[in-house]
Amino acid sequence: MTVSRPSTHTQDGASPASGSPPGVDPSASQDAASATESRPVKVSTRNVSKVFGRQADRALELLRKGGTKADAQKLGAAVGVYDVSLDVYAGETFVLMGLSGSGKSTLLRLLNRLHEPTSGQVLVDGTDITKLGKADLLRVRREKFSGMVFQGFAILPHRNVLDNVAYGLEIQGVSAAERRRRALEATALVGLDGWESYYPSELSGGMQQRVGLARALAVDADILLMDEAFSALDPLIRREMQDELIELQARVNKTIIFVTHDLDEALKLGDRIAIMKDGRVVQVGTAEQIITDPADDYVEAFVEGIDRAEVLTAANIMMPLKATAQLRDGPHTALTKMRRFGISGLLVVDSERKVHGYLTSENVRAQLDDVDASRDRIESSRIGPAVTVSLDTPLQDIIGYASESSLPIGVIDASGRLRGVVVKGAILAALVRPGRGPDDPTKSAQVNTEGQHAV
C-alpha cells in the first residue's frame, strides 16, 4: 500500500467540508490531515462522548473540568469515549486503533447510534443522527450502513452460504428474488462463488469471515463498519483477508471504518488511522504521518519506541510453504517438487504436518546415485535436522537461529503442525525497514521467497 495523500502538519485551516462547530478550536483539531482533503465527508463526530453508568452526566462534567477516567470511575461511571471530533471521508478506509479498552468499539457503535451518545453529535452525510426519531434513525441505518462485521461473526449454522449472505436483506424485508440476486453478487465479490450451497461447518475460518463480509456487502450501503473482523483468524489467513479487503475496497469503494488493536493491520489497511487512548483520539493521520511524527509518547511507543526485533514474531514474517516433502515420498517425487518450485531443499513432514527434518537436493541425488538405496522412500539417514520455531517466537530469537544456518526455518503452531516458513530474506526485510511501514515485509520485491539457491 502506498500512502499517496500529501503529508501535512498545518493546523491553520478549518476542515473545508464541515467548518468548525461552535466551541471547537480548529487549531486543536484532532484531524490535522483534513486541511488538504477535498473529498466529501461521509461521517463526522463532533465532541462526541459516551459514558456508561447512572452518573454519566456528572462523570462527564467531571471530565470537562479536567477529571480523569479514574475520577469518573469513582462515581461508578465508565468512560467509553470522550470528546472525539473527527471526519471520515467518503471512500476511505479509516482505522480506529488502540489498546484494548481504549474505546474503539464504543466509538464505532456511536457512529450508527447503536450507542446513544452522552453528549455531542454524529453526522452521516451531513445529517445529525443524534436528533433523529426512531423511524428516521432506522431508515438512515438501512440506507447508509452495511451493518457491522465482527470478529467471530454471527454465522447461522443451519443456513447455507447464500442464505447466510442474504440474511441482512431478509431482515430488511427485501423480496426473495432480489435477495437472491444481491446475495449471489456479494458472494462472488468475496470469492465464494461455487460455495453458495455449502454449510458453515464445511468452511474454513477465513471463508466464514468472508461470508460475514458478503452479508454486509449484500446490503450495499455506503458505510461498512468492521470491528476486529480479522482478529480471530490465523496469521496467514488474516493477512490474506487484509489483502482481499484492500482489493475489494478498490472495486466497491465504500467508506470503511475498521477497528483493530493491531498496528500492522492498521498501517496496512488504513488510508488514515485514528489512535485511541482512554476514550480519546490522540492522533489522526496517514500511516506515514503517524510513523514519522507521533503525536505523543503513547503513539511513539506504538510505532517507534519499540524494537522491531522484539515486536515482530515468526507469525508476522513467515510465508506460506510452496512445497514440503512427505515422509512417504520417494526420492524422485521429492526431487520433482524441488525442481518445480526452484528450491534446493524441503522440510519433511508426516501426515499430521509434524516436521521430521530437512531434505536437501544433494542428499536426494546421493540416494538416487546409490544403487543399493531405496527407490520408494526417502531414507531417514538422508534427512537432516530442521530448525523450527513457534508462531510467537520473536524476530530477535529467529535472527539467532538464522545466523547459525542458512536453511529455511519451519514455523509450527501450538499443536506442532507446520504452518509456514521463515527465510533469511524476510528477516532482513523486516529489520531494515525504518519504523514500521505499511507494506508487508514478506512482499518486498527483493525477497526471494524461498531465500536460497535454486537447484
Ligand X SMILES: Nc1ncnc2c1ncn2[C@@H]1O[C@H](COP(=O)(O)OP(=O)(O)O)[C@@H](O)[C@H]1O
Give yes or no for residue 102 binding ligand X (CB under 6 A): yes
Q: Which stretch binds ligand X (CB under 6 A): 22-30, 97-105, 195-203, 324-332?
A: 97-105
Contacting ligand X within 46-65 (CB under 6 A): 52
Chain residues in the site for Mg ion (CB under 5 A) = 105
Closest separation between CB of residue 103 and ligand X, Å?
A: 4
Closest separation between CB of residue 415 and ligand X, Å?
A: 29
Give yes or no for residue 117 binding ligand X (CB under 6 A): no
Q: How many residues bind ligand X (CB under 6 A)?
A: 11
Contacts 24+ apart (CB under 8 A), 37-41: 37/5, 37/87, 37/89, 39/89, 39/90, 39/91, 39/92, 40/89, 40/90, 41/15, 41/17, 41/87, 41/88, 41/89, 41/90, 41/123, 41/126
Q: Are strands 78-89 and 41-52 parallel, antiparallel or unpaired?
A: antiparallel
Give yes or no for residue 100 binding ligand X (CB under 6 A): yes
Reported as type and span, the H/E element at residue 227 is: strand 223-227
Give yes or no for residue 29 binding ligand X (CB under 6 A): no
**Cα gap 266→450, rounded to integer Å:** 28
Encode 68-92: b = buried (16+ Cβ within 10 Å), e = exposed. Answer: ebeebeebebbbbbbbbbbbbbbbb
Nearest to 386 by CA among 410, 411, 415, 364: 410
Give yes or no for residue 280 binding ligand X (CB under 6 A): no
Comparing CB distances to Mg ion, the nearer of 209 and 452 is 209
Q: From the DSSP assignment, how many helices (H) and strands (E) are in the chain?
A: 18, 16
Contacting ligand X within 394-453 (CB under 6 A): none
* Residue 102 binds which of ligand X, Mg ion, none (CB < 5-8 A, kind-dependent): ligand X
CB atoms < 10 A from the CB of 265, how many?
Answer: 21
The correct pick among 16, 21, 26, 101 for binding ligand X (CB under 6 A) is: 101
CB 42 within 8 A of CB 125: yes
Give yes or no for residue 80 binding ligand X (CB under 6 A): yes
Closest separation between CB of residue 318 and Mg ion, Å?
A: 27
* Residue 106 binds which of Mg ion, ligand X, none (CB < 5-8 A, kind-dependent): ligand X
Comparing CB distances to Mg ion, the nearer of 56 and 226 is 226
The correct pick among 42, 46, 104, 419 for binding ligand X (CB under 6 A) is: 104
Give yes or no for residue 331 binding ligand X (CB under 6 A): no
Q: 333 is written with which cell numbers?
A: 517425487
Sheet holding 127-128, edge to edge: 78-89, 41-52, 119-124, 127-128
**Cα gap 419→413, rounded to integer Å:** 7
The correct pick among 42, 44, 46, 98 for binding ligand X (CB under 6 A) is: 98
* Residue 78 binds which of ligand X, Mg ion, none (CB < 5-8 A, kind-dependent): ligand X
Contacting ligand X within 368-387 (CB under 6 A): none
Q: Are strands 41-52 and 119-124 parallel, antiparallel or unpaired?
A: antiparallel
Residue 156 amino acid letter: L
Give yes or no for residue 106 binding ligand X (CB under 6 A): yes
* Residue 175 binds which of Mg ion, ligand X, none (CB < 5-8 A, kind-dependent): none
The CA distances from residue 309 to 166, 287, 432, 436, in Å, are: 45, 20, 10, 11
* Residue 408 binds which of Mg ion, ligand X, none (CB < 5-8 A, kind-dependent): none
**Cα gap 275→109, rounded to integer Å:** 17
* Residue 360 binds which of ligand X, Mg ion, none (CB < 5-8 A, kind-dependent): none
Give yes or no for residue 105 binding ligand X (CB under 6 A): yes
Closest separation between CB of residue 93 and Mg ion, Å?
A: 18
* Residue 80 binds which of ligand X, Mg ion, none (CB < 5-8 A, kind-dependent): ligand X
Comparing CB distances to Mg ion, the nearer of 33 and 226 is 226
**Cα gap 175→146, rounded to integer Å:** 18
Tell me the β-bridge partners of 347: 358
Q: Which stretch binds ligand X (CB under 6 A): 56-64, 101-109, 187-195, 290-298?
A: 101-109
Q: Which stretch binds ligand X (CB under 6 A): 100-108, 373-381, 397-405, 409-417?
A: 100-108
Give yes or no for residue 45 binding ligand X (CB under 6 A): no
Give yes or no for residue 199 binding ligand X (CB under 6 A): no
The correct pick among 78, 309, 311, 428 for binding ligand X (CB under 6 A) is: 78
Closest separation between CB of residue 261 and ligand X, Å?
A: 7
- Give residue number: closest CB to Mg ion: 105
Give yes or no for residue 103 binding ligand X (CB under 6 A): yes
**Cα gap 160→198, rounded to integer Å:** 5
Sheet holding 272-277, edge to edge: 145-150, 223-227, 255-260, 93-98, 272-277, 280-285
For residue 451, the 8-state DSSP code is -
Closest separation between CB of residue 397 and ligand X, Å?
A: 29
For residue 266, the 8-state DSSP code is H
Which residues make up the interface to ligand X (CB under 6 A)?
52, 78, 80, 98, 100-106
